[in-house]
Chains A and B, each alone.
Chain A
Amino acid sequence: EAGVAQSPRYKIIEKRQSVAFWCNPISGHATLYWYQQILGQGPKLLIQFQNNGVVDDSQLPKDRFSAERLKGVDSTLKIQPAKLEDSAVYLCASSLLGGRNEQFFGPGTRLTVL
């Protein structure tokens, strides 16, 4: 079974530029998550989708971050404009719908903002 796919794996940009990350969840997983993991810290949830609807985006900095999950499969997370403090690994995870199902994580995208 293929795992969660993410691209790119690494991205370096300058502050005030924009960047987008892509995630393809495990086939059949209705729930998709984006986490931000700053170096030396645990991952922090940014947004949770169920199919193509947002379940929780309370910790997403909406002035610069946006995410979508068209058709309830792939998802894109965008940052515009980026700030230095956005340097982190962005993790995508997916799970089956409902209950306390295990989340499966992708390898992450490491973003460096200069």
Chain B
Amino acid sequence: GDSVTQMEGPVTLSEEAFLTINCTYTATGYPSLFWYVQYPGEGLQLLLKATKADDKGSNKGFEATYRKETTSFHLEKGSVQVSDSAVYFCALTPNNAGNMLTFGGGTRLMVKP
């Protein structure tokens, strides 16, 4: 079945550092790929998405590129802020008409001033 693997956390960075959170997936066909973020005490929010190979999703300074050849969707940000501290989840939906999400285990990011 479909699966998503993320790097384990926590990831601890200083403010303004460069962020990469690795995500790889296993799925048949061409799934859609997502990054969700969960801030402390809040629900999951969609951060960005990409629906086909080589698409780049971007939002709030975060970016991720859909790489079919490496089955990856790594999340990057050039300069993190303390307010980016949260748990980040990589997820996919299959290439059929359904939109059931399969999530990775999540990566906690802690940004220190």
Contact = CB atoms under 8 A, between A and B. Distances in A.
B99 interface: yes
Given A42-B105, A42-B106, A91 B44 contact: yes
Interface in B37-56: 42-46, 49, 51
B103 A108 contact: no
Most chain A CB within 10 A, of B4, B42, B101, B104, is at B101
Given A42-B4, A44-B103, A95-B99, A100 B32 contact: yes
Contacts of A14: none
B43 A45 contact: no
B93 interface: yes
B32 A43 contact: no
A105 B93 contact: no
Interface string B84-113: 000001010100011111111110000000
A105 B49 CA distance: 16
A107 interface: yes
Given A42-B4, A42-B89, A103-B101, A91 B106 contact: no
Contact of A100 (B42, B89, B93): B93
Most chain B CB within 10 A, of A31, A100, A101, is at A100
A48 B106 contact: no
Contacts of B89: 42-43
Given A43-B44, A91-B43, A108-B43, A103 B99 contact: yes
A44 B36 CA distance: 14
A88 B59 CA distance: 29
Interface string A25-49: 0000001010100001111110010
19 contacts: A3-B43, A4-B43, A31-B99, A33-B100, A33-B101, A40-B105, A41-B105, A42-B103, A42-B104, A43-B44, A44-B103, A45-B102, A48-B98, A95-B99, A99-B99, A104-B46, A105-B45, A107-B42, A107-B43
Given A43-B44, A105-B44, 9 more contacts: A3-B43, A31-B99, A42-B91, A45-B100, A45-B102, A48-B100, A56-B98, A91-B44, A99-B99
